[in-house]
Amino acid sequence: MIACDQASLESLAAKVGRQLLANGERLATAESCTGGWVGQCLTAIAGSSGWFDRGFITYSNDAKIEILGVSADALAAHGAVSEAIAAAMALGALERSRAERALAITGIAGPEGGSATKPVGTVCFAWAGPEGCVATATHHFDGDRETVRAQSVAHALTGILQRAHRLV
């Protein structure tokens, strides 16, 4: 497991920034359950304005629809915590920014809100890149609300770092 204390998250964010800068790329974020924590980690890095374009905090379904252009029909069909919605969020962030890459996070951090099919700790991710390429993943994280959110930030940053490093 990746260390999820604030210093470790900011160290990971700095690595992301160095890779994006080396690639000549910018990043946009679309966050739900993490409430801007990824953006906070990125902007804690001096010089991040050279590679971090903007972040969208779309906690409610209405915000996902209004700000990112997520389809109400898709939300009804898949639910907010789904890879389909994470992908739509990431693509919406790309379309509404000047970034070449985007990441999105949507999940159930708890302590309530889970179900049998989507228990607390279920988090969906998407990473979008050049030419509309999108990768998605779903993970279940154990722990309290803060731990689930911290692990989500770490996983999202690790995912964008891996993808930016591959230039895919």
Q: Domain residue spans in the chain?
A: 6-166
Determine the average pLDDT of the residues in 2-31. Answer: 94
* DSSP secondary structure letters along 68-124: H---HHHHHHH-SSSHHHHHHHHHHHHHTSS-SEEEEEEE--SSS---SSS-TTEEE
Determine the average pLDDT of the residues in 94-105. Answer: 97
Q: What is the pLDDT of residues 36-64, one digit of tens each?
A: 999 999 999 999 999 999 999 999 999 99
Identify the CATH class of 6-166. alpha beta
Helix (H, G, I), strand (E, B) or coil at 45: coil
Q: Phi and psi dihedrals of 126, rounded to 5?
A: -145, 145
pLDDT band at 132 (very low <50, low <70, confident <90, very high): confident
Residue 142 exposed, middle or buried by CB count within 10 Å (0-12, 13-18, 19+): exposed
Tokens for 10, please give them: 């900011």
The pTM (predicted TM-score) of the whole model is 0.95
